[in-house]
Amino acid sequence: MEALAIRLSGLDPYIDGAIRIIAFYDTLMRRRVDLPALARASAGLAECVAGIRLHGTGRATRISPHGTEAPIPQSPASTTAPITLDDEEIGTVWLERPGPPGPLDEVLLDRLAIAAAAAVERYSPARTTMADPALVELAISSDSDEAARARALRLLGFAADLPIHVVAVRSQLPLDQIGSLVCPARPVKAAPLADVGVILATTVDRARFPAGVRAGIGAAESPDRSWQQARTALRFNTPREPVIRYTDLGVLALLAEVPQDTARRNADVAAIARIARNAEDLETLDTYCATGSLRRAADLLHLHHSSVARRLEQIAKTLDIELAEPAGLTRVRLALTAWRLLDD
């Protein structure tokens, strides 16, 4: 093979250069260098700034051809390439070459991306976000024994002494993207399971969920219990509050245990169902229940408070509940929540 490479290199300067680049990165990989060393070597080889960024951390390593940190602000990338590991794009590598890209820049970045993926695999146990759904299901299933659950968590990259939150997610966004955002420090794993996405993470930052994502967050208990809590919390979310922590539900979580036929037969829930046929009335009632204030509800609805008052007066007649009374408002809030928990 080496003899063939030598013969080929003599035929074409491009092939000669490409072979030398491949050999260069093969040597770096054998020496098991880390990401900063890869960026430094690449910048020296390319004679321009080289950069590496991992999506999971969001941090970029930029090295100048002199081996020092590249100056800020960052120049536009002249060439980029994705870092891929286990069929998941986990980061990006790039060159910041003044002027047009060099003829071998794509080859260099291709090998840098491969070397970076190898370094991540070597130095980061929980390196990718997407996981085998079968392992995730084994970790969160109530039918799993503790030995099987512990083994599944170990294979997923979680240490035995780490707390684990389970998150139930519904979103059009990729699960790995959501997982990396809400738990940027890792470890975090995600997998689709039946009708919902599952994220397992040691920490969950509720404020980092992207817009459009609906999620329920279980407490850091046994993963099977946390999964049940996450599914329950997911049922309670609304457009106004798309991400719910089970621990924030408190006594409201008991409503999820009420049989749906029982809830439907309740007079207050049935009255909410009738009001829900009119989207404006439902939004008005929901906003008033969320704020407890007529004027605040009017501000959020962009209506005059007298208009909101008239709507609420008609809604109160349909419900046969006095909304201005604390007890009546509590009844309506509970009925509205119970109605939302119905499947239809």
Contact between 294 and 305 under an 8 Å Cβ cutoff? The reply is yes
Annotate 315-327 with b (16+ C-beta within 10 A) or e (fewer): bbeebebebeeee
Judgement on whether residues 245 and 138 belong to the same structural domain of the protein: yes
Task: Kindly state whether residues 213 and 139 are assigned to the same domain.
Answer: yes
The reply to whether 155 and 64 lie within a common domain is: no
Q: Among 253, 278, 301, where does a domain finish?
A: 253
Do residues 237 and 302 share a domain? no
What's the rounded Cα separation, in Å, for the pair 340 and 344?
9
Q: Is residue 200 part of a domain?
A: yes
CB 166 within 8 A of CB 135: no
| Structural domain boundaries enclosing 88 | 2-123
* Overall domain count for the chain: 3
Q: What is the CATH number of the domain that holds 76?
A: 3.30.450
DSSP state at residue 71: P
C-alpha separations of 253 from 58, 216, 284 in Å:
36, 12, 24
- Terminal Cα distance for the chain, rounded: 66
Give domain status of residue 77, yes or no: yes
Residues 6+ apart with CB under 8 A from 12: none
For the chain, state the CA radius of gyration: 28
149 plus 228 within the same structural domain: yes
Nearest to 206 by CA among 162, 165, 255: 165
Over its length of 344 residues, how does the chain's per-residue pLDDT go in tens digits?
A: 344 344 444 546 678 888 889 999 999 999 988 889 999 999 999 999 999 988 766 678 999 999 999 988 888 999 999 998 777 788 899 999 998 998 999 999 999 999 998 888 776 544 567 888 888 999 999 998 888 888 888 888 787 777 899 999 999 998 988 998 898 766 789 999 878 999 999 889 999 999 999 999 999 789 999 999 999 999 999 988 999 999 999 999 999 999 999 999 999 999 999 999 999 999 999 999 999 999 999 998 999 989 999 999 999 999 999 998 999 999 999 999 999 999 85
Same domain assignment for residues 230 and 268: no
Which pairs from 122-125 meet CB under 8 Å and 24+ separation? 122/32, 123/34, 124/186, 125/157, 125/187
Co-location of 110 and 216 in the same domain: no
Q: Which of 230, 253, 276 is the last residue of a domain?
A: 253
Q: How far is CA 210 from CA 169, 206, 242, 263, 342, in A?
A: 12, 10, 10, 33, 26
Q: What is the distance between the alpha carbons of residues 108 and 86, in angstroms, rounded to a whole number?
A: 21
Residue pair 152/200 in contact (Cβ under 8 Å)? The answer is: no
Q: What is the DSSP letter of 332?
A: H
User: 142 and 227 in one domain?
Assistant: yes
Phi, then psi, of 213 in degrees rounded to 5: -95, 135
In a domain, 195, yes or no: yes
pTM metric for this prediction = 0.64
Please check whether residues 138 and 84 belong to one and the same domain.
no
Same domain, 109 and 193: no
Residue 327 lies in a domain: yes
**Backbone phi and psi for residue 32, each to the nearest 5 degrees, phi listed first:** 55, 50
Encoded tokens for 292: 């407890």
- Cross-sheet strand order for the sheet of 49-54: 60-63, 49-54, 88-96, 79-85
Same domain membership, residue 174 and residue 91: no
Q: Is 128 a member of any domain?
A: no
Q: Final residue of a domain: which of 70, 90, 123? A: 123
DSSP one-letter code for 257: G
Does the residue 150 lie in any domain? yes
Q: Are residues 140 and 248 in the same domain?
A: yes
18, 107 contact by CB (below 8 A): yes
What CATH code is carried by the domain that includes residue 286? 1.10.10.2840
Domain for residue 302, yes or no? yes
Q: Identify the pLDDT of residue 266.
A: 96
Residue 293 within a domain: yes
The DSSP line for 242-290 is -EEEHHHHGGGGGGGGS-HHHHHHSHHHHHHHHHTTSHHHHHHHHHHHH
